[in-house]
């Protein structure tokens, strides 16, 4: 950054932030659930026609999300120790082809396609992985991949209730088994190594809910470990070890890839975990600490995750779990540990067809504003579940909270080298082009009205040029100027590295 720009920014900081300045840094994500084809794909098969239809419907969904102002998608690639991509370690997902292990036609690779298409729209793509879940049936799978996993499994079966009831089973890769943890890391390493993803995110499935303590299940395994921890703490430590191993793998392979986890909405271990770190307790009841044996505060304290996205699926007026105090608690927790908090919001009540969802839209909009007010680190964020329900809410967002584009917050705790300035920038036939900047940089593109001085166009809160003038983000060294911005503007391009840092902008002459 040159001295003139530094001087300008210091001057602007003295003047103070503009009250109506658009948010420039904000996670605006959407979960794309592939389990059972909930969001995508709606068609299953191994023929080329099905693959083409799946490509088209995924593009349509990404277009709808882009129109809403979404800047990142969380694309589910692993649901039941299977794959929505070409994996050497696990079978193809039945949700894609109709049968576990059946190969799709035409070299079809959904993750590669989703990354390519998200990036073409200036959106990040985070690979959504369920780390331990294997099956919801006690009957094992029969293919070669699954036979290798059988020694690593735990099956928790809840007996049937009543004459018409059915027994329910949950089968997972055993977090207490080092080979199971190694398998999860191996699978994630493969994804990160071979695909140009921006992030890796786990959901909230760890140990089976209410897996009994005491004799049975993993009791002998715990005893053999020689651990001095209680059985419950030992289970939580097994989850922590997995999270730590994923973090270490990412630093080795691609340190810019973000690692996030989406735990249950209420944290703190009902005072136990919160007290360990000198934090006040979270509103509501934390069921995940003692029922699925995970402790998000430990992951944050150890610096092993870049963000948490707790599933705060309640409205602000909820009797026991009101949104605002819970979101405020997570915001303070994120700041305490120097990481980011992006709330996950449920859109399930948007599913009414032909009904008036405007009240629900306004509620989610108000929750976004809560996140912004609570985020003292300039890193607010929301991730919406699920993508299929965004529909009319997309229009609401694009006219209100997400009316201007935003950059995903930068990981400023990581060291990133200055990639240098954009060079060779020019305009021809309505398209900006420039020479590629190293390190796989993305770019931000701005259009500043010709009658607005550059000093007046600078952001008073975030650095660089204000989001008032941000056109979009691009992963390639070119950008087609929108017709509405074709005349009367000066154009600027800035490198946006994979850590999220925006560097000095260059005017296109």
Average pLDDT over residues 397-422: 96
Give the tens place of pLDDT for each residue, 274-283.
Answer: 999 999 999 9
- Per-residue confidence (pLDDT) for residue 138, from 0 to 100: 82
Average per-residue pLDDT for the chain? 94
Give the tens place of pLDDT for each residue, 147-173.
Answer: 999 999 999 998 888 777 788 899 999
Residue 423 has pLDDT above 50, yes or no: yes
> Domain limits of the chain?
26-136+176-399, 426-507
CB neighbour list of residue 369: distance below 8 Å, 6 or more residues apart: 401
- Per-residue confidence (pLDDT) for residue 158, from 0 to 100: 87
- Per-residue confidence (pLDDT) for residue 18, from 0 to 100: 60
Rounded to a whole number of angstroms, the distance between the first and last alpha carbons of the chain is: 20
Nearest CA to 218 among 242, 204, 234, 241?
234
Q: How many residues does the chain have?
A: 509
- Per-residue confidence (pLDDT) for residue 353, from 0 to 100: 57
Residue 5 has pLDDT above 60, yes or no: no
Give the tens place of pLDDT for each residue, 120-142.
Answer: 999 999 999 999 999 998 887 88
- Per-residue confidence (pLDDT) for residue 440, from 0 to 100: 87
Residue 16 has pLDDT above 80, yes or no: no
Residue 92 has pLDDT above 90, yes or no: yes
Give the tens place of pLDDT for each residue, 185-198.
Answer: 999 999 999 999 99
- What is the pLDDT confidence band of residue 115, given thresholds at 50, 70 and 90? very high
Residue 7 has pLDDT above 80, yes or no: no
For the beta carbon of residue 376, count every other beta carbon within 10 angstroms. 11
- Taking only Cα atoms into account, the Rg of the chain, rounded to an integer number of angstroms, comes to 24
The rounded distance, in Å, linking the Cα atoms of 314 and 295 is 21
Helices (H), 268-354: 272-276, 288-291, 296-301, 323-337
For residue 64, the surrounding DSSP H or E stretch is helix 48-68
Nearest CA to 504 among 409, 437, 426?
437
Output DSSP code: residue 70.
-
Residue 1 has pLDDT above 60, yes or no: no
Phi, psi of 210 (to 5 degrees): 65, 35
Residue 2 has pLDDT above 90, yes or no: no
For the beta carbon of residue 64, count every other beta carbon within 10 angstroms. 16
The rounded distance, in Å, linking the Cα atoms of 396 and 3 is 42
The rounded distance, in Å, linking the Cα atoms of 84 and 34 is 8
User: What would the CATH number be for the domain defined by 26-136+176-399?
Assistant: 3.20.20.80
- Per-residue confidence (pLDDT) for residue 276, from 0 to 100: 96
Entry pTM: 0.95
Average pLDDT over residues 454-476: 96
- What is the pLDDT confidence band of residue 438, given thresholds at 50, 70 and 90? confident
Average pLDDT over residues 419-441: 94
- Per-residue confidence (pLDDT) for residue 10, from 0 to 100: 43
- Per-residue confidence (pLDDT) for residue 67, from 0 to 100: 97
Give the tens place of pLDDT for each residue, 308-362.
Answer: 999 999 999 999 999 999 999 999 999 999 999 999 999 988 866 567 889 999 9
Q: In the chain, how long is the greatest CA-to-CA distance?
A: 79
CB neighbour list of residue 375: distance below 8 Å, 6 or more residues apart: 331, 341, 381
Domain at 426-507, CATH class: mainly beta
- Per-residue confidence (pLDDT) for residue 354, from 0 to 100: 60
- What is the pLDDT confidence band of residue 6, given thresholds at 50, 70 and 90? very low
Tokens 């931000």 label which residue?
444
Average pLDDT over residues 59-87: 98
CB neighbour list of residue 328: distance below 8 Å, 6 or more residues apart: 370, 374
């Amino acid at each position: 950054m040159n001295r003139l720009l530094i001087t300008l920014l210091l001057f602007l900081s003295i003047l103070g932030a503009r009250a109506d300045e658009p948010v420039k840094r904000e996670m605006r994500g959407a979960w794309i659930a592939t389990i059972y084809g909930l969001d995508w794909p709606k068609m299953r098969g191994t023929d080329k026609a099905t693959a083409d239809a799946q490509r088209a419907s995924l593009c349509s969904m990404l277009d709808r999300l882009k129109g809403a102002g979404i800047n990142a998608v969380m694309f589910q690639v692993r649901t039941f120790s299977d794959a929505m991509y070409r994996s050497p370690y696990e079978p193809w997902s039945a949700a894609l082809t109709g049968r576990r292990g059946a190969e799709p036609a035409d070299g079809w690779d959904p993750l590669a396609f989703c990354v390519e298409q998200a990036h073409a729209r200036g959106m990040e793509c985070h690979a959504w992985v369920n780390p331990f879940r294997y099956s919801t049936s006690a009957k094992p799978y029969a293919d070669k991949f699954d036979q290798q996993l059988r020694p690593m499994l735990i099956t928790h079966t809840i007996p049937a209730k009543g004459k018409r009831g059915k027994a329910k089973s949950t089968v997972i890769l055993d977090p207490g088994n080092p080979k199971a943890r190694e398998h999860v890391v191996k699978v994630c390493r493969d994804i990160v190594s071979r695909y140009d993803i921006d992030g890796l995110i786990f959901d909230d499935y760890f140990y089976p809910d209410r897996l009994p303590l005491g004799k049975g299940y993993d009791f002998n395994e715990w005893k053999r470990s020689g651990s001095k921890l209680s059985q419950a703490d030992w289970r939580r430590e097994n989850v922590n070890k997995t999270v730590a191993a994923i973090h270490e793998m990412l630093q080795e392979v691609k340190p810019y890839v973000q690692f996030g986890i989406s735990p249950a909405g209420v944290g703190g271990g009902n005072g136990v975990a919160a007290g360990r770190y000198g934090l006040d307790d979270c509103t509501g009841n934390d069921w995940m600490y003692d029922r699925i044996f995970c402790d998000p505060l430990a992951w944050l304290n150890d610096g092993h995750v870049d963000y948490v996205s707790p599933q705060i699926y309640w409205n602000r007026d909820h009797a026991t779990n009101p949104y605002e105090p819970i979101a405020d608690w997570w915001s303070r927790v994120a700041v305490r540990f120097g990481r980011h908090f992006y709330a996950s919001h449920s859109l399930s009540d948007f599913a009414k067809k032909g009904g008036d969802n405007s009240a629900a839209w306004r509620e989610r909009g108000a929750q976004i504003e809560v996140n912004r007010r609570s985020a003292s680190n300039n890193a607010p964020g929301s991730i919406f579940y699920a993508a299929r329900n965004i529909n009319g809410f997309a229009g609401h967002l694009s006219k209100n909270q997400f009316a201007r584009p935003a950059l995903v917050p930068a990981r400023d705790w990581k060291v990133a080298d200055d990639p240098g300035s954009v060079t060779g920038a020019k305009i021809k036939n309505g398209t900006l082009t420039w020479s590629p900047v190293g390190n796989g940089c993305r770019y931000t593109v701005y259009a500043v009205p010709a009658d607005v001085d550059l000093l007046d166009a600078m952001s008073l809160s975030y650095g660089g040029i204000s989001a008032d003038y941000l056109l979009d983000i691009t992963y390639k060294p070119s950008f087609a100027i929108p017709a509405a911005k074709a005349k009367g503007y000066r154009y600027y391009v800035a490198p946006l590295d994979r850590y999220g840092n925006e560097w000095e902008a260059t005017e296109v002459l």
